[in-house]
Amino acid sequence: MKRTLLVLAGLALAGAVQAQMTPAGLWKTIDDDSKKEKSLVRITESNGVFSGRIEKLLDPASDPKAVCDKCSDDRKDKPVVGLEILRGIKAGESDKAVFEGGTIVDPNNGKSYRARLKPVNGGAQLEMRGYLGPFFRTQVWQRVE
């Protein structure tokens, strides 16, 4: 009986860990240069496609009424809070632990980059990598929930 309970508990724990190995959730973004907290981004999944919106700006110097005036697509002049910055992300074809194929926009300059998301440290962190050609920049986001 004890053995059965231990096996069931182990399976439940493994399922909980696996559930966290997804980019879906609320993430605290950290600036890779200054190491300061910047924002909270909520990533959601619909039919296998992930997208993410800025829920809150954390930097006290940020203007809470800022808009993406440098964006050149449908996000132009939209408020930064609520802005969909991640679009079209899917589980990788060859590596299901990597999520890619979509884009991320930087509201500060309006530029879009190819995006790759990879949950690490048991899903407690998210490596968010933006690509421009062969060049890339990586930020590590912290899971809030």
pTM of the model: 0.84
Q: Which two tokens stand for residue 80?
A: 């930064």
Q: Which two tokens stand for residue 34?
A: 């200054």
C-alpha to C-alpha distance for 71 and 116, rounded to whole angstroms: 20
C-alpha to C-alpha distance for 52 and 107, rounded to whole angstroms: 13
C-alpha to C-alpha distance for 23 and 85, rounded to whole angstroms: 14
CB 31, CB 43: distance < 8 Å: no
pLDDT at residue number 39:
96
Q: What backbone torsions phi and psi does residue 9 show, to the nearest 5 degrees?
A: -65, -40
CB 120, CB 94: distance < 8 Å: no
pLDDT at residue number 31:
83
Q: How many CB atoms lie within 10 A of CB 89?
A: 23
Q: Which of 16, 36, 18, 19 is nearest to 28 (CA)?
A: 36
Q: pLDDT tens for residues 6-62? A: 333 443 444 444 445 899 999 999 887 888 899 999 999 999 999 999 999 998 888
Q: Which of 42, 34, 58, 46 is nearest to 90 (CA)?
A: 46
Q: pLDDT tens for residues 98-123? A: 999 999 999 999 999 999 999 999 99
Q: Which domains does the chain have, with CATH numbers?
A: 2-143 (2.40.128.520)
